[in-house]
């Protein structure tokens, strides 16, 4: 593997969904504490979906939670459903309920994606452009002028049964985007149909990418994505971190993997 190539996936399997969420919360706490020790702050990109929210709920309950200085954590989202602010289906709303209100975050460092009743109205492309600008401004402020996104220590993704990640769906225009960092997504096969998503190039800037998949309904997608090479057909195959790509599964989601695929 050359220095420029992203890290190949490592697979971690937990006995069940509950223990997967708790273990991943502990792993995330360690990663954030290490990032803050190294550079005084930490940055994580959240995902929506059952596994993403289960992780946040476990994080809120984790005994070591307060080892993280939450006032120095930047929270971003990998995707969002383009709905009015506070809508129960928004990833931001669900994250608030699961976790955000449980720890002393600095509101200025929590970066939800725009809502459909915000300053851009229902113009999802304008909203996506505004989030791209917010990312670029954070990179500039953080001493990374010219970068289009700030450093992400850990970028979390759920795995869709069709191998989508964030709101990048197989053979959808958004998964082909390789210029912009954030795009609007229309006619998404997973409701709601209109979304905002980081693009694959943006996801791949993260130091570490963690994909979360639990349940037998993810077994086929996990086996397919771990063997696949074409991210246009299998978006999860394109989700790679610069220094680490971690697939975090429970036994049910790992059922389709060959023994050789499990670390």
Which of 87, 253, 90, 62 is CA-nearest to residue 160? Answer: 253
Residue closer to ligand 6PG by CB (options 73, 214) is: 214
Crossing angle of helices 50-61 and 17-39, rounded to 10° = 70
Q: Which residues bind ligand 6PG (CB under 6 A)?
A: 47-52, 79, 81, 91, 158-160, 164-167, 190
Q: How near is the Cβ of 188 to ligand 6PG at its closest, in Å?
A: 9
Q: For residue 9, what are the β-bridge partners?
A: 245
Residue closer to ligand 6PG by CB (options 41, 199) is: 199
Distances in Å between the Cα of 40 and the Cα atoms of 43, 62, 70, 73 are: 11, 22, 11, 9
Residue closer to ligand 6PG by CB (options 79, 153) is: 79
Residue closer to ligand 6PG by CB (options 49, 151) is: 49
Q: How near is the Cβ of 195 to ligand 6PG at its closest, in Å?
A: 7
Query: Residue 233's CB: how many other CB atoms inside 10 A?
Result: 13
Residue closer to ligand 6PG by CB (options 41, 152) is: 152
Q: How near is the Cβ of 106 to ligand 6PG at its closest, in Å?
A: 24
Q: How near is the Cβ of 90 to ligand 6PG at its closest, in Å?
A: 9
Q: How near is the Cβ of 1 to ligand 6PG at its closest, in Å?
A: 27
Residue closer to ligand 6PG by CB (options 135, 198) is: 198
Please give the residue whose beta carbon sits closest to ligand 6PG in the complex. 158
CB 115 within 8 A of CB 217: no
Q: Distance (Å, rounded) from C-alpha 114 to C-alpha 177?
A: 20
Q: How near is the Cβ of 91 to ligand 6PG at its closest, in Å?
A: 5
């Amino acid at each position: 593997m050359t220095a420029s190539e992203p890290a190949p996936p490592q697979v971690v399997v937990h006995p069940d969904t509950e223990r997967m969420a708790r273990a991943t919360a502990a792993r995330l706490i360690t990663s954030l504490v290490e990032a803050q020790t190294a550079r005084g702050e930490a940055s994580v990109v959240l995902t929506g979906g059952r596994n993403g929210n289960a992780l946040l709920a476990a994080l809120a309950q984790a005994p070591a939670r307060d080892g993280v200085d939450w006032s120095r954590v930047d929270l971003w989202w990998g995707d969002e459903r383009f709905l009015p602010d506070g809508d129960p289906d928004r990833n931001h709303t669900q994250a608030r309920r699961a976790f955000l209100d449980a720890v002393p975050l600095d509101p200025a460092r929590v970066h939800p994606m725009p809502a459909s009743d915000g300053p851009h109205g229902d113009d999802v492309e304008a909203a996506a452009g505004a989030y791209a600008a917010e990312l670029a401004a954070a990179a500039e402020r953080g001493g990374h002028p010219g970068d289009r996104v700030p450093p992400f220590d850990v970028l979390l993704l759920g795995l869709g049964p069709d191998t989508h990640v964030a709101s990048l769906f197989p053979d959808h225009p958004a998964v082909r985007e390789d210029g912009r960092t954030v795009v609007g997504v229309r006619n998404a096969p997973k409701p709601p149909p209109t979304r905002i998503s980081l693009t694959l190039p943006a996801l791949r800037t993260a130091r570490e990418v963690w994909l979360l998949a639990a349940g037998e309904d993810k077994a086929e997608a996990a086996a397919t994505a771990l063997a696949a090479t074409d991210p246009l057909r299998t978006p999860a195959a394109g989700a790679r971190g610069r220094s680490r790509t971690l697939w975090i599964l429970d036994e049910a989601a790992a059922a389709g993997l060959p023994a050789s695929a499990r670390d």
